[in-house]
Amino acid sequence: MMIVTGGAGFIGSNIVQGLNARGISDILVVDDLSDGRKCLNLSEADIRDYLDKDDFLARVERGETFGKIEAMFHEGACSTTTEWDGRYMMKVNFEYTKAMLSWCVTHKTPFIYASSAAVYGMGPTFREAREFESPLNAYAYSKFLFDCHLRTRMKDISSQVAGLRYFNVYGPREQHKGAMASVAFHMNTQLQNSGRLRLFEGSDGYGPGEQRRDFIHVDDVVAVNLWLLDNPQVSGIFNVGTGRAQSFNDVARAGIDWYRRQRGDNSFGGIDYIPFPDHLRGRYQSFTEADLSALRAAGFDLPFMNVATGMSRYLDWLHRD
């Protein structure tokens, strides 16, 4: 059996779909369905069982077993970057993840967990080393601190443990995230509603809409997770991005081009540039780009989608009949 925590969330539900595509349905999904909309992410999935995250934690802390577990994909977390309740963030992201790690190590179960590129703060170097890490909010700090905790334990762990620092992920099954959904998701909504997109004016030396981030389609994120499942000898902390920063203008143009093709109207769509918000100055990642050296050295050699390809695939999914 596989365990996927956060399995009704964005990346977790896509991992479930990826496992299903391999013919694997013996899956225990762990999540918090206080927001019942998340269960819709599993409506097309086949799983064996579901447990609430608090019930699962209680059973883990009692040392219970769940039969033969092939791996745990730990995607469950509070991912709201604007959440400043530090006690809550540390309980949900740091302490919970420590408990999952300890249980997996005890049972020699591969543990593949979600970290975040947010640990790097403003950058500009995005490499998996302490000197480049400087979190700017409680969410980023909770992820950073667990990575530090793992580093102190790694030499004593014989089973697989892999932390994945996701960059800007977009794709299917993120609609429940609201304001925390991807730029791509919000651009689709704007194009549907008005036919025009709003991007920030220049900041940090970048021109209007030219702030650049490493945007990665969730299918590529799933591919990395499943590759680790296939390679249990690989452990460590790895960046998961495309390795190529692209501008918000690139994402916008990809969205507009998709709508133009669908409508047969080359005049559709436009971009408006709005003032950069004062409250984001000094706290906004104007540039991110994953250094993929560690992931490639570990043996992952599959290509990643660029924004044009990924946006087209995502919009095809969003506008399914």
Give how far the C-alpha of residue 134 lies from the chain's centroid of Cα atoms, to the nearest Å: 19
Contacts of 155 by beta carbon, 8 Å cutoff, 6+ apart: none
Please state whether beta strands 212-213 and 246-247 pair in parallel, antiparallel, or not at all (unpaired).
Answer: antiparallel
304 closest CA partner among 255, 251, 240 = 240
Mean pLDDT of 27-47: 95
> 76 and 53 in contact (C-beta within 8 Å)?
yes
3 closest CA partner among 55, 74, 53 = 74
The structure tokens 């969205």 sit at 255
The 10s digit of each residue's pLDDT in 276-287 is 998 888 778 899
**Res. 318 pLDDT band, cuts 50 70 90:** very high
Neighbours of 176 (CB within 10 A): 18
296 token code pair:
């490639």
Q: What is the pTM of this model?
A: 0.95
**Res. 290 pLDDT band, cuts 50 70 90:** very high
Neighbours of 180 (CB within 10 A): 15
168 token code pair:
């800007």
The CA dihedral of 173, 134, 53, 6, to the nearest 10 degrees, is 20
Rounded Cα–Cα distance for residues 234 and 228 (Å): 7
**Domain residue ranges of the chain, discontinuous segments joined by +:** 2-169+217-243+290-304
229 token code pair:
């499942």
Q: Which residues are catalytic?
A: 139, 177
Average pLDDT, the chain: 95
DSSP per residue, 271-294: EEEEPPPGGGTTS--SB-----HH
The 10s digit of each residue's pLDDT in 99-116 is 999 999 999 999 999 999
291 closest CA partner among 132, 82, 108 = 132
Rounded Cα–Cα distance for residues 127 and 304 (Å): 18
DSSP summary character for residue 91: I
Q: What is the pLDDT of residue 285?
A: 86
Is the pLDDT at 80 greater than 90? The verdict is no
The 10s digit of each residue's pLDDT in 222-237 is 999 999 999 999 999 9
> 243 and 304 in contact (C-beta within 8 Å)?
yes
Strand partners, 161: 111
CATH superfamily of 2-169+217-243+290-304: NAD(P)-binding Rossmann-like Domain (3.40.50.720)
